[in-house]
Amino acid sequence: MNLEQLVKDKDTQALSVLVTHFNNEYARVLDDGTLTDWPSFFTSDAFYIVTGRENYENDLPVGLIYCEGRAMMRDRAVAIAHTAMFAPRYLRHFITNTFVEKIEGGEITASANYMLMQTLHDKPETTTHQVGQYIDTFVVEAGELKLKKRACVYDDLQLDNSLVYPV
């Protein structure tokens, strides 16, 4: 069965598996440092934000990272890849509890918890960089899932001051 049919049939179980696979691939790209591939997970008009829970719950549009459209994401990825103004680091994403909440009008609303671990090259210990939830809207484009919107809503009350990479 193709992806469009799963959406039409509102098969939340099958779509949860596909969203989990999507998130695994997303994490692999960010963890492997192939940042220029990151924008390909989004639609051309996608919206991406990294924001605090309090801001999100109060509909405040303040974000630590705020991108409107794939072109803006591409600009960010290229700037990060070619800028050495931050300490080099390794990242590891752990994404769990994926849940497809609803399917309506060809859009899939889903959520998943995430934990982002970070190891700086000059420090031996790994630290928790951020913990939160992805709140997503997916669509099908050319037979593939794409993010139309991803809100990375972090729970942390105090963040490391070096949020460089996408979450």
161 within some domain: no
138 within some domain: yes
167 within some domain: no
Task: Indicate which CATH number applies to the domain containing 62.
Answer: 3.10.450.50
59 within some domain: yes
Q: Is the pTM of this model over 0.85?
A: yes
163 within some domain: no
162 within some domain: no
Digit-coded pLDDT (tens) for 114-142:
999 998 888 878 988 899 999 999 999 99
Domain count, the chain: 1
165 within some domain: no
Q: What is the predicted pLDDT for the residue at 151?
A: 97
Q: What is the predicted pLDDT for the residue at 160?
A: 66
160 within some domain: no
Q: Which residue, among 112, 122, 149, has the nearest Cα to 27 in the 3D structure? A: 112
Residue 9 belongs to what domain range? 3-154
